[in-house]
Structure 1
Amino acid sequence: MEWEYDLVVIGTGTAGTDIAVHCRKAGKSVAIADYREFGGTCALWGCIPKKVLGAAAEVVARAGDLHGKGIIGGIAIDWPALVGFERSFTDPVPARKEEMFEQRGIDAYHGCARFTGEQTIEVGGETLRAKQFVIATGSKPRPLQTPGADLMTTSDEFLYLERLPKRIVFIGGGYISFELAHVAARAGAEVTILQRSGEVLKRFDSDLVDRLVTASGEAGIDIRMNMPLYSIEKAPGGLIVRAGPEGRQIFEADMVVHGVGRVSAIDNLDLAKGNVETDKKGIVVNEYLQSVSNPAVYVAGDANYESIQLTPVATLDAHVVVDNILNGNRKRADYSTIPSAIFSIPSLAAVGLSEATAKKNGIEYDLHSGDMSSWYASRRIGLRHAAYKLLLEKKTGRILGAHVLGDNAGEIINLFALAIRHSMTAADLTYDAMIYAYPTSTYEITYMVKGKGG
């Protein structure tokens, strides 16, 4: 049987849900489909469960950092109980989504959607015809051709482990590996990160990354550079990981976790039948997030390889797509001031220009930087590694970039993102220009903009 709609959205994550809800509110007939549980990556396999696990790791780290400073005795993570607590956040999501779609008058379909023509898809044995489609299918772990790659555990699976293995090797030195490694180490696992090149967390300031690497080592995380994965093999009692040139380095593990990044999850959509052009990276879109070959199709969130794989960016993409569907192509996505944060311990965050980018583009800037480990916000919790960098436009003092390692770095960076978005200067953030709550981590922005620090 064939059903007709104004809009069909593929994917029930942040981007897909926002688009479906706003277009339905505008009076369009809308259907939404997903082959996984309704809710998307952030709610079920990303931000939300990750941060719940991370909160427990922070408690353990905080207790350790304050040991001898008024704290005595040990503290440990009960992994099964922690995962049970995590599930109290994630388990209700699919049913709530389904109920919400029903209440909003959005028809929901379960199954893998596949294009059968430029304006038709097939899902769960039903044919859906629509004037417009949105692909918001999210991302999946990057496929690897390495021998034994099928023995790896994905980050999705890691977040719901019933038992935490003793020896864990993370492949790749990006967000996923660092965040989950800090959780696993605080939960008592022996943790190793293998990075194929000589640099980890490449999107972040290298000096602050070096400090985070040091802090990670002190937490018991063994980070090995220039260790490309060669193979993974089953062995009695576990797994053997071979890495480095010709696999000469051997690491024994009970679990190997895929942390080599994620790519757009679009492989199963039969895009060619929908005349949706792709290249080696993914779906080819114009500045309006519209397919260049099939104008009936828009792309949003992680399914769009041009956008950064962050939940707020998925929301931004959704707003762009909704505006263009309802009002004609007029809105473009602006990714210039997107803050990013790694929720390791300590956390690392950045927004705006990096030193490398500024130098490459010949931008003249003044640098304010310093060690914040002796500042109050760090000392009071025993944090040994904290630092910052600010890039200020040389002639005006306008804030061009901010980079923070330390407690609440993700919160601090939001204020800098706001400042950059509104072309604020360092003088606009001093305590002469505004009043901050004190004592707080954000109050220390007043020291950063004045260039204080070791």
Structure 2
Amino acid sequence: MTTKHYNVFVIGSGVAGQTAAKICAKNGLSVAIADKQAFGGTCAIRGCDPKKILLQFADLIQKSEQLEGLGIKKLPKISWSDIQNFQKSFTEKIPKSTEENLAELKIDMYHQSPTFISENEIEVEGKKVTADTFVIASGLTPRKLNFEGAKFLKTSAEIFHLPKVPKSATFIGAGYVGMEFCFLLSTLGCKVTLIDSGAQALSQFDDFLVDKLVSSMKKKGVKFVFNAEIESVEKKKKSYKIHYKQKGKSKTVTSKIVFNTSGRVPATALLNLEKANIQHDETGVIVDDFLVNKTNKNVYACGDVSSKSLPLTPLSGLQGYIVGNNILKKNSKEFENPLVPSVVFTHPNLATVGYSEAEAKKRYKDVIIFKGDASNWYNAKKGNAAVYAFKIIANKRTNEIVGAHLISAAANETINIFATAINTKMTIDEFKKMIFTYPSYASDLKNMLKDA
């Protein structure tokens, strides 16, 4: 078996891996990168980016339905095949362009998941490879479910290859991905059921706003089944029967397709990390503040697979930058988890940044809660939107805003204003002095900070 040596070997070609690899290559180090899937990463090819392309058409239908009879005479017709071709025009060119960019930097590429055989050796594509430093940026992979018939489940990535909108679909898991794709398919005419083992959807978001989103989606025909345990999935001639237990009773639902949206876990199973003395657990590869593995100091981890990350592309890029620079100059960059806003791209959007109400009450002696339903405010009424609400949290002692939670058609953008306010330790009084464009959703934000 031939042996090749590199200064740096990167595992994973998403934003984190590419960023680290490019920094090292541009500074004269010999670099290789490996990925068992198409080069470019989850977000760009089978995640965030193509998902948003599809979701905008569901947004269009939803907005049109809200305004039907108020100026919209006929609802637009959607061509699913054209939508799929449109999103593919973005995604299909990414692997080639990614490889071309890496090749220009003389980065060697391997199209297979490597396996560690010792602390500084891997096997990949039938070759033994050694490296001074390894960077694990392999991301996340769909969580495997263990019940009879689990092999029949599809992943969310397969939605980007559906030839047509199915007549019915069942999603197992009510997190970001499950809720977003439930919204997409149900709005485009699919009969959707969502099953979750928990008591509510989107457990990391504010209950007050989640309840409003779930109620809105129910009115659009989505069936929610909470506190349920999947027992099996049975393949029929042209459909699947999902057997589940709820409140001690066995129940079933039948649909044309079943998706596993129960979450994602660190993609480390194929790497044989134990052979390389790389500490890891369910949070990913265990790293310190310099993103160095705790037990193998020649290994870095960045992006979603890092124990110090969240599954968000901007954070992956930041961590890749830190790793690349720390390889060039040891411990030169330290990772500090930044304030990160999160959005569920349903319609309306559900967004959050900073502390939840429960977290704020644990952290501060006294808090101020601004909470309300804004569905009778101008911006909701002009779009005939049934759902618009908020919860803003401030530290009573300092009057600083410490958390914000929004549900509206524009929450994905307006949450960034609160992110800025929290980052700059802005007080309620300072925020209310700001002037925003009017009449915009941003102009509503000051009105949310009236008497609690």
TM-score range for the pair, normalised by the shorter chain length: over 0.9
Instruction: Name which of structure 1's ranges 203-212 and 120-129 shifts more when overlaid on structure 2.
Output: 120-129
Q: Could you tell me how far 1:140 is from its partner in structure 2?
A: 0.8
Cα deviation, 1:21-49, whole Å, max 9, x if unaligned, reads: 12222332221111100011100111011
Give the aligned partner of residue 439 of structure 2.
439
Structure 1: runs of 5 or more not aligned: none
Amino acid at match of 1:412: T
Aligned pair in 2 of structure 1 residues 305, 233: CA closer, same or farther (>3 Å)? farther
| Residue 87 (structure 1) shift | 0.4
Q: Which moved more, 1:405-414 or 1:298-307?
A: 298-307
Aligned counterpart, 1:275: 277
1 CA distance for matches of 2:170 and 2:146? 18
Higher deviation after alignment, 41-50 or 70-79: 70-79
Instruction: Tell me which amino acid in the other structure corresponds to 1:261.
Output: G
Find out whether 1:66 has 2:67 as its counterpart.
yes
**Mean Cα deviation higher: 303-312 or 49-58:** 303-312
Q: Is contact 1:264–1:305 with CA below 8 Å preserved after alignment?
A: no
Aligned to 1:353: 355
Instruction: Report the alpha carbon displacement of residue 337 of structure 1 after superposing the two structures with TM.
Output: 1.3
SS of the residue aligned with 2:350? strand
Q: TM-score, normalised by structure 1?
A: 0.95
Match of 1:228, SS state, is: strand
Q: Per the alignment, in what secondary structure is the counterpart of residue 162 of structure 1?
A: coil
- What is the letter of the counterpart of residue 239 of structure 1? Y
- Cα distance in structure 1, aligned partners of 2:103 and 2:92: 19
The alignment partner of 2:280 has SS state of coil
Q: Residues 79-132 of structure 1, C-alpha deviation per residue, up to 9 Å, x if partnerless?
A: 122111110110000001011111223222211211122112222223322111
Q: Distance in 1 between matches of 2:100 and 2:414?
A: 36
Checking the alignment, whether the CA contact within 8 Å between 2:266 and 2:282 is kept in structure 1 is no
- Range with bigger deviation, 418-427 or 331-340: 331-340
Q: Aligned letter for 1:46? A: G
2:315 aligned residue (305, 313, 316)? 313
**Cα contact 2:371–2:390 (8 A) shared by 1:** yes
Q: Which residue of 1 aligns with 2:100?
A: 99
- In 1, Cα distance between equivalents of 2:243 and 2:334: 45
Q: CA deviation at 1:374?
A: 2.0
Q: Distance in 1 between matches of 2:446 and 2:364?
A: 28
Query: 1:115 matched to which residue of 2?
Result: 116
Q: CA deviation at 1:330?
A: 4.9
What does 1:9-24 align with in structure 2 at a 5 Å threshold? 9-24=10-25
One-letter amino acid of the structure 2 residue matched with residue 38 of structure 1: F
Contact 1:377–1:407 under 8 Å retained in 2: no
Deviation of 1:336 (Å): 5.0
1:400 matched to 2:406:
no
SS of structure 2 residue aligned to 1:269:
coil
Query: 2:74 is matched by which residue type in structure 1?
Result: G
Q: Is the 8 A contact 1:231 1:247 kept in 2?
A: no
Deviation of 1:283 after TM superposition, in Å, equals 2.4
- Runs (4+) of structure 1 exceeding 4 A deviation are none
- Aligned-residue offset at 1:17: 0.9
* Letter paired with 1:223: F
Which residue, 326, 330, 333 being the options, matches 2:328?
Answer: 326
Single out whichever of 162-171 and 25-34 deviates more from structure 2. 25-34
By how many angstroms is 1:226 displaced?
Answer: 1.3
Deviation at 1:75, TM superposition (A): 2.4
Q: Does 1:228 align with 2:218?
A: no
| Cα contact 1:230–1:247 (8 A) shared by 2 | no
CA change 1:76–1:281 in 2 (3 A) is same
**After superposition, where does 1:246-261 map in structure 2 within 5 Å?**
248-261=250-263
Query: How far, CA to CA, are the matches of 1:182 and 1:307 in structure 2?
Result: 27
Mapping 1:185-196, distance limit 5 Å: 185-196=186-197
Confirm or deny: 8 A CA contact 2:80 2:164 kept in the other structure.
yes
Distance 2:207 2:381 in 1: 24
* Residue pair 2:304, 2:316 contacting (<8 A) in 1 also: yes
- Distance in structure 2 (CA, Å) of the matches to 1:393 and 1:251: 47
Correspondence 1:24-35 to 2 at 5 A = 24-35=25-36
For 1:413 and 1:140, locate their aligned partners in 2 and report how far apart those are by CA, in whole Å: 28
Please tell me whether the aligned partners of residues 228 and 245 of structure 2 are also in contact (alpha carbons under 8 angstroms).
Answer: yes
Q: Secondary structure at the match of 2:436?
A: coil
Aligned-pair Cα RMSD in Å:
1.7
Aligned to 1:87: 88
What secondary structure sits across from 1:412 in the alignment?
Answer: helix
- Could you report, residue by residue, the CA deviation over 1:421-441 in whole angstroms, capped at 9, with x for unpaired residues? 1211222222x3x33222222
Structure 2 residue identity aligned to 1:447: N
Write the deviation string for residues 260-292 of structure 1: whole angstroms up to 9, x where unpaired. 000011110121222212235432222322111
Give yes or no for contact 1:167–1:254 (8 Å, CA) kept in 2: yes
Query: Which amino acid in the other structure matches residue 39 of structure 1?
Result: G
8 A contact 2:20–2:320 mirrored in 1: yes
Unaligned segments of structure 2, at least 5 residues? none
In the TM superposition, 1:209-224 aligns within 5 A as 209-224=210-225
Counterpart CA distance in 1 for 2:18 and 2:133 is 15
1:422 matches 2:424? yes
Preserved contact between residue 76 and residue 187 of structure 1 (Cα < 8 Å): no
Compute the displacement of 1:317 (Å): 1.9
- Aligned to 2:270, the other structure's residue is in SS state helix
Tell whether the 8 Å contact from 2:265 to 2:282 is kept in structure 1 after alignment: no
Amino acid at match of 1:449: L
Percent identity over paired residues: 36
C-alpha separation in 2, matches of 1:364 and 1:331: 36
Query: Could you say which residue in structure 1 is the equivalent of 2:448?
Result: 448
The amino acid across from 1:106 in the alignment is I
**Contact 2:286–2:293, Cα closer than 8 Å, also in 1:** yes
Q: Show the counterpart of 2:147.
A: 146
